[in-house]
Structure 1
């Protein structure tokens, strides 16, 4: 997490017995804070609805929403807004008016996909514009993926292209999100004739066991991707492309390198991916102004066996195995890496490092104003073009 010259974070991962030493010198209060942050990292939780909805004016189809102006609501593009504890959803369009004096912003309401937004007081800003396949304009079938974690709900998205491809896409969402996150890719995949599966995985709100579920940060969830590939193969796929958003990128990289079905993985499309968890946790520690000793202990708690009773992890996380900057030489399939340079949650520097050392396999177009995993939202035409050009050049048969 927070690095200093006396004890670099990566040195911590290789240290032996440092937990006892740290525990002897930090206070009980500091230990409690480290426990809090360690559990925040691995315990699944639903994203809260904390954005005030100030006012709605107009009538369908010409409505506006007035919101506090912040780093998210003042970015151009098209976004989703969940409200009423996720029961409601609206599609929010571009900025109509910004008032710097009152720090408010007015934006178009392009559609209300469900619920009554005029009765909503708070919401959650999201990149999810399509809450279900019908909203994305694609066909879907509800299916279940059978994994060692149980039966995982998913959408099978067949293509209506007259000549379907035998390459399928597996859409893997990020931490604390849902399978709807991957639906932004559904229209371009349908146009290309690529069937897809938008999957859930262990720890998702739809399947989690609240008291025992723990995120593996990709170190466990990849097994469910392997099971999703089984489903694609059973439906006629000959190979697959893994699409991963945020932590879904970490999951996809593990599935492509460790899965029993890895020989069928022909490419990766990663959006705002975590390719180095230590770097991400470093950044989050700094954002939360976490003192260095507490940051070190927090990191150790999720990576060392002694802390299992505290974190609830069955197996400590191997963050070295999740570091694809260090493991860059092991990459063996083409990768489209889409990562905005202003990403506030997952820094883009490890993605650039990976792209730099593996120019033979990694394609990384420049995005710089999209924040975390919202490159599609600021420019869907460009995002879809980047995806289509990559798949046609690297994966799909030439026509």
Structure 2
């Protein structure tokens, strides 16, 4: 009996060791994969199409607002924490309005990604600034060479808000796509300028880094992806330079009391649509939801007319 007990105990220790080894190894793989994604350079190369689109409303198009739509614009230098960053300022027809829109693109994206919204905003007469932030071509590089998932980039958005206020705008509409949503959320959490935000528009918003990591891990076939994610998050906390466990701004979006537009496709393979579902369920403020079946940031392409209808309804709530 004693021998059998020892065998059972030994098997238990071996099994426990294998489980621990799995979680450590899987967590390390997840951590390295996410770190590579947040490292400046590789993701941008991966996302660059072999042939650039000719339609400004397609992701990957490159060219200024004049080249894209024939719109007059001004290149504006915005002072930020790391130095000046360039923005494109497109004046709207409402010369007397105190409302300006500021577009914030996603990770490894570009200002041109905001052209789908620019067309709608300009059509409504709203002046718009399409900004660049740290690690963009038109902005300073961060010292660590990594994107901060909003934990650092919000300061660049703050600089843009200050610059627009210097032009006489006292109300700001923040438009964020993908990681741009995370930047918007961190801005709401930290910036003294957040009181000037009159409305928020989000598309496939990456509001919770932990949830996104677990979602992608599960899609990649990881067993117990949520538990593996906790191991990876511990590694992020130990590695620095930013604590990505703080990259969760769901509460800020839920608590925002102004109008919110949010678009998300059920076919999103990058950001789980469950994040948006939770936001919409928990919010008490005015919310305009556009649900599509599209993949990441493809809700507009799926049905531009429907997207425009919901977005314009949202803009009307800002008047």
User: What TM-score do the two structures reach when normalised by structure 1?
Assistant: 0.67
For residue 29 of structure 1, report the CA deviation from its aligned partner.
6.4
Q: Find the residue that maps to 1:372 and give its secondary structure.
A: coil
Q: Find the residue that maps to 1:47 and give its secondary structure.
A: helix
CA deviation digits over 1:215-257, x for unaligned, max 9? 2111111111111001111112121100000010111122133
Which of these residues, 187, 190, 193, is aligned with residue 258 of structure 1?
190
Does residue 205 of structure 2 align to residue 273 of structure 1? Answer: yes
Counterpart CA distance in 2 for 1:175 and 1:47 is 8
> What is the match of residue 375 of structure 1?
299
Which runs of no fewer than 5 residues in structure 1 stay unpaired? 1-20, 51-80, 93-112, 114-125, 309-313
Instruction: Kindly indicate whether the alpha-carbon contact (under 8 Å) linking 2:202 and 2:261 is maintained by their aligned counterparts in 1.
Output: yes
Seen in structure 2, the aligned counterparts of structure 1 residues 334 and 388 have a Cα distance that, compared at 3 Å, is same
Instruction: Kindly indicate whether the alpha-carbon contact (under 8 Å) linking 1:222 and 1:254 is maintained by their aligned counterparts in 2.
Output: yes
> What is the match of residue 38 of structure 2?
42
Counterpart CA distance in 1 for 2:265 and 2:26 is 34
CA deviation digits over 1:97-132, x for unaligned, max 9? xxxxxxxxxxxxxxxx8xxxxxxxxxxxx6245642
Instruction: Kindly indicate whether the alpha-carbon contact (under 8 Å) linking 1:136 and 1:186 is maintained by their aligned counterparts in 2.
Output: no
Does residue 217 of structure 2 align to residue 285 of structure 1? Answer: yes
Counterpart CA distance in 1 for 2:211 and 2:255 is 20
> What is the match of residue 126 of structure 2?
194
Higher strand share: 1
Instruction: Kindly indicate whether the alpha-carbon contact (under 8 Å) linking 1:156 and 1:197 is maintained by their aligned counterparts in 2.
Output: yes
Which of these residues, 205, 225, 232, is aligned with residue 298 of structure 1?
232
Counterpart CA distance in 2 for 1:259 and 1:133 is 29
Matches within 5 A, 1:329-344: 330-344=255-269
Note the aligned Cα RMSD (angstroms). 3.0
> What is the match of residue 387 of structure 1?
311
Counterpart CA distance in 2 for 1:169 and 1:237 is 10
Instruction: Kindly indicate whether the alpha-carbon contact (under 8 Å) linking 1:128 and 1:184 is maintained by their aligned counterparts in 2.
Output: no
CA deviation digits over 1:30-74, x for unaligned, max 9? 676355224224312243358xxxxxxxxxxxxxxxxxxxxxxxx
Which of these residues, 229, 239, 243, is aligned with residue 316 of structure 1?
243
Seen in structure 2, the aligned counterparts of structure 1 residues 26 and 279 have a Cα distance that, compared at 3 Å, is closer
> What is the match of residue 239 of structure 1?
171
> What is the match of residue 100 of structure 1?
none
> What is the match of residue 133 of structure 1?
65
> What is the match of residue 13 of structure 1?
none
CA deviation digits over 1:335-368, x for unaligned, max 9? 1111112111111111111111214332213222
For residue 165 of structure 1, report the CA deviation from its aligned partner.
2.4
Does residue 291 of structure 2 align to residue 366 of structure 1? Answer: yes
- Number of residue pairs aligned between Structure 1 and Structure 2: 299
Seen in structure 2, the aligned counterparts of structure 1 residues 316 and 141 have a Cα distance that, compared at 3 Å, is same
Seen in structure 2, the aligned counterparts of structure 1 residues 342 and 35 have a Cα distance that, compared at 3 Å, is closer
Counterpart CA distance in 2 for 1:259 and 1:43 is 25
Which runs of no fewer than 5 residues in structure 2 stay unpaired? 1-16
> What is the match of residue 354 of structure 1?
279
